[in-house]
Chains A and B, each alone.
Chain A
Amino acid sequence: METIVSLGVGLLMGAGAWLVLRPTSFSVVLGLTLMAYAINFLIFVAGRIDRTSPPLTLKGTSGWADPLPQALVLTAIVISFGMTAYLVALALRALGDTGTDRIDGRAGDGDERP
């Protein structure tokens, strides 16, 4: 289980990092979204991968799943969602102002939007 989760987080993070380094803002937005997914997984498993403990404190059970990462991940999701929305709005505005989707605002050779 640990292996699968860590491979998944690594894969998402790697793909995100590659996309963020692309010169067009569309792929950067996608890359940041993938990185945010990777982070959400990572925070979630920071409270240990646990299949047996109940999520709530019930009578007669000892120990329960760590509730804090769930709260943290919720905050992280909300913030990354808001940031992505703002980034998309800003990218659209930059597209309108500069006429190109490239991150440096210069029309370049290749890597244009399809």
Chain B
Amino acid sequence: MSHLPILPFLVPLLAAALLMLLHGHPLAVQRSVSMGGTLAGLAAALLLLHQAAGGVMSVYALGNWPPPYGIVLVVDRLAALMVLLVFLLAVPALLMAAGGGSFDARGRHFHTVFQLQLAGLAGAFLTGDIFNLFVCFEILLLASYALLVHGGGAERARAGLSYVVLNLVGSTMFLVAIAILYGTLGTLNIADMALLLPAVPAEDLPLVRTGLMLLMLVFLLKGALMPLGFWLPHVYAAATVPVAILFAVMTKVGIVALLRVSVVALGDAGAAARLFLPWLPLLALGTIALGTIGAFAARRLATVVAHLVVISSGTLLFAIAMADEAATAALLYYLPHTTLVTGGFFLLAGAIALRRGAIADHLVRGPVIAGRWALGFAFLVMAVAASGLPPLSGFIGKLMLLQGAAAPGWQAAWWTTLLVSGLGVALVLARVASTLFWEPEGHQASAVETQRIGPVASLALILLVAASPVLTFAAAPVSAFARATAVELHARTPYLEAVVAGTGPVQRETRPTPEPERTAP
């Protein structure tokens, strides 16, 4: 058995442990170890993607305990794609942390926690059972709590407190769901659940459905669906720049977990019939509308970008609710695009904020920004990509979504919402650009107030600005991969066979007959 599948989880974890020991050493040492860990993780993720793209589904049984008894990591195309995305976003985030404004020097243990967050993210995408998913969620959440308040200040402490409480309640719900599902199905392995769900006895059905709904609720809380997503703009805008970049992939954890569980585990089992309809598509459309309105009302560039994250969540969740192969294929092309673009936009907002001194990224007229031509061009590329205008990948992604993700009856609402929201985003970003770049007030800000962002952070910016053009030029291979992923996911049998076949007959619990009540001894 190759040990490759566990490396994206293990490497950051070891790097975090090493960084803990290196605490007190010069920042340069910590930065190189952290970057080394991230690059090693990236290499492992690329190898995994190469393997998965060849149609090989690798199953890694921890401690060699065969599934469904033991814990498994499963690398299919979806998991490989998401792990690669995590590390692709982590590299520029780290570059920005080290090179622009020394974000990692504003508090202790930045790099340790950063690596733990990477481990949690990679683990959450790779795992093949729900309890391990919970554990990875907790690892990434605990790291994100610490990263969020990194840098200090009352604003972050307040945002941090509500974020932590909300997610702790979410974790509680997750455990309730796990307990109910284990109590009724007797398994927590996703593939095993898929085999058991069609045969749930009728008297257990309401309980199983409750458990599944609670599980979905937790994923939707992480994915920021409408009534559960009000925490997001507040929290993302309060985080420091490198942290916000990494957070761009965090909402996707909930969304991908929802996709995996709803397609692989639920499938078309009777127990899960009409679990999502019609409320999920409706709320997803509401999320898109709310994000657009919020973007209009935002007074900081980072808050505008946070609302872009909300809009993309709504878009992706609608595609999941349609639960069909074409929708999933479109979703999987749009997902890397939107993750990289929102991450890059957070970076750009940070770079602009550093150049504007005290007024930072507040949307008020300010002094002329040094290097405004380069930043302005970057803003143009990002804005075109984010609002889904041609010719960049946002347009291609939205076109695929418009065609693929419209079940009969939803078409009108879906097209209207998506197109109007795109128009709204374009308007907001045009207004932001004219405030930031075209209406300077006074002279160039003095060099004392502003900070240069340095070549390393510029490299990070170039990497992320280039993401959308690259996805545009590589649209054919990427969308072919997305389609192959969707086919593999919806076929279900490759996943189920890889995980639970070949382990022989599984011993199931025989349900005990109710014990007659005894009288007191």
Contacts and interface: CB of A to CB of B under 8 A. Distances in A.
- B146, B160, B168, B176: which has the most chain A beta carbons within 10 Å? B168
B234 to A, nearest CB: 11
Contact of A83 (B157, B168, B176, B178): B168
B436 to A, nearest CB: 29
Interface in A60-108: 66, 68-69, 72, 75-76, 79-80, 82-83, 86-87, 90-91, 93-94, 97-98, 103-105
B131 A103 contact: no
A88 to B, nearest CB: 11
A73 B351 CA distance: 45
B157 A68 contact: no
Given A46-B180, A50-B512, A94-B158, A103 B165 contact: yes
Contacts of B28: none
A86 B145 contact: yes
Contacts of B411: none
Interface string A32-63: 10011001001101111011100000000000
A20 B160 CA distance: 16
A50 B135 CA distance: 27
A75 B146 CA distance: 21
B147 to A, nearest CB: 13
B172 interface: yes
Interface size classification for chain A? 35 or more
B165 A32 contact: yes
A39 B509 contact: no
Contact of A94 (B138, B142, B157, B172): B157
B175 A39 contact: yes
Contacts of A76: 175
Interface in B147-192: 149, 152-154, 157-158, 160-162, 164-165, 168-169, 171-172, 175-176, 178-180, 182-183
B157 A97 contact: yes
B302 to A, nearest CB: 19
Nearest to A105: B158
Given A90-B145, A94-B158, A72 B165 contact: no
Contact of B149 (A42, A48, A90): A90
Contact of B172 (A39, A45, A86, A98): A39
Nearest to A99: B154
A32 B169 contact: yes
Given A79-B135, A87-B164, A90-B164, A104 B172 contact: no
Given A43-B179, A75-B135, A87 B158 contact: no
A90 B160 contact: yes
A91 B161 CA distance: 7
B175 A43 contact: yes
Nearest to A96: B157
Contact of B158 (A36, A42, A51, A98): A98
Nearest to A106: B158
Contact of B131 (A39, A72, A90): A72
A91 B171 CA distance: 19
A70 B340 CA distance: 41
A46 B182 contact: yes
Nearest to A82: B142
B506 to A, nearest CB: 14
Contacts of A20: 165, 169
A95 to B, nearest CB: 9
A79 to B, nearest CB: 5
Nearest to B132: A75
Nearest to B146: A86
Contact of B162 (A45, A51, A86, A103): A103
Interface string B502-521: 00000001001001000000
- A25, A97, A104: which has the most chain B beta carbons within 10 Å? A97
A86 B138 contact: no
Nearest to B139: A79
Given A87-B164, A90-B160, A98 B154 contact: yes
B169 A94 contact: no
Nearest to A39: B175
A32 B145 contact: no
A72 B178 contact: yes
A107 B197 CA distance: 51
A96 B179 CA distance: 38
B138 A83 contact: yes
A100 B453 CA distance: 36
B128 to A, nearest CB: 16
A90 B144 CA distance: 13
Contacts of B157: 90, 93-94, 97-98, 105
Given A25-B161, A98-B154, 4 more contacts: A42-B179, A46-B183, A87-B161, A91-B161
Q: Can you list the 8 inter-chain pairs with the closest CB atoms, starting with the nearest?
A: A46-B183, A105-B158, A94-B157, A97-B154, A46-B179, A43-B179, A42-B179, A39-B175
30 contacts: A20-B165, A25-B165, A32-B169, A39-B176, A42-B175, A42-B179, A46-B179, A46-B183, A48-B183, A50-B512, A52-B515, A68-B182, A69-B182, A75-B131, A79-B138, A83-B142, A83-B164, A86-B145, A86-B164, A87-B165, A87-B168, A90-B160, A94-B154, A94-B158, A94-B161, A97-B157, A98-B154, A103-B161, A103-B162, A104-B162
